[in-house]
Amino acid sequence: MAATIRATPLGPSGMGFSLGSACGDAAATKAYCRCVIVAAAIGAVVLLVAAGLAWTAYLVHVGNLDAMELAGKVATPDPVSALDWPELHVRAIVPQPDEPPMVLLVVDWPAHPQRAATLLVALDRGDDRSVPLLSRWCATQASVSPTRQGGADLELRRRQSLERVHAVLIAEDHTR
């Protein structure tokens, strides 16, 4: 039996529509509920697929950044500077009290624990997130990829992430 739609008055000024059927309103209401449930399920599946694709694109982007940085570092067989190491761990961070944007970083190369360096870097003025971020990297012993940005500018990026700290290298001291 087919459902029919008939116009019925809804109060003094309006027209509305109601579902009617030869079998009664119960069958039409049941069919309508099924359609709504199917539409909601399809919407949820589409949303989950879109979220999965977005997450996959993010992971591919971060993986490509890691691979490109590592490929660039392999070209230097015996790196002289800590900024040429493929990765480093921040072992200590000491913000300078008299110069707020200045920070001492004690770093090492995980593949060669005997290699360590102390970096004096200047952070951007008004940058309130870099010191807590570096402190968290230190506490979690996160793998960090250093990148020269031209001249003394550098970027420290946590591997497998887009977290970055921009700074200017003031001085560097090595221990072997």
In a domain, 64, yes or no: no
Q: Would you say residue 24 lies in a domain? A: yes
Say whether both 91 and 170 belong to one domain.
Answer: yes
Are 21 and 84 in the same domain? no
Mean pLDDT of 35-44: 95
The total domain count for the chain is: 2
Q: Is residue 85 domain-shared with residue 143, that is, in the same domain?
A: yes
pLDDT of residue 57: 93
Same domain flag for 85 and 171: yes
70, part of any domain: no
Domain shared by 119 and 159, yes or no: yes
pLDDT of residue 78: 75
Binned at pLDDT 50, 70 and 90, residue 12 comes out as: low
Instruction: Provide the domain limits for residue 149.
Output: 79-175
Written as one letter, the residue type at 170 is I
In a domain, 67, yes or no: no
**Best mean pLDDT range from 14-18, 97-101, 149-153:** 149-153
The pLDDT of residue 67? 82
Structure-token pair, residue 104: 């001492």
| Three-point CA angle 28, 33, 39, nearest 5° | 125
Q: Is the pLDDT of residue 100 over 60?
A: yes
42 and 117 together in one domain: no
First to last CA, the chain: 87
Percentage above 70 pLDDT, the chain: 81
Which among 136, 140, 144 has a CA at the least distance from the CA of 161?
A: 144
Residues 53 and 90 in one domain: no
Q: Are residues 99 and 17 in the same domain?
A: no
Is residue 87 domain-shared with residue 51, that is, in the same domain?
no
Q: Which two tokens stand for residue 82?
A: 């800590």
* Cα distance between residue 38 and residue 92, in whole Å: 56
* 71 within a domain of the structure (yes/no): no
Residue-averaged pLDDT of the chain: 83
49: pLDDT confidence band, cut at 50, 70 and 90? very high
- Whether the model clears a pTM of 0.75, i.e. scores above it, the answer is no
pLDDT of 53 higher than 70: yes
**Judgement on whether residues 150 and 92 belong to the same structural domain of the protein:** yes
47 pLDDT tier (thresholds 50, 70, 90): very high
Determine the average pLDDT of the residues in 47-70. 89
Contact between 91 and 143 under an 8 Å Cβ cutoff? The reply is: no
Residue 5 confidence (pLDDT): 54
* Burial readout 30-52 (b: 16 or more C-beta within 10 A, e: otherwise): eeeeeeeeeeeeeeeeeeeeeee
- 23, pLDDT greater than 80: no
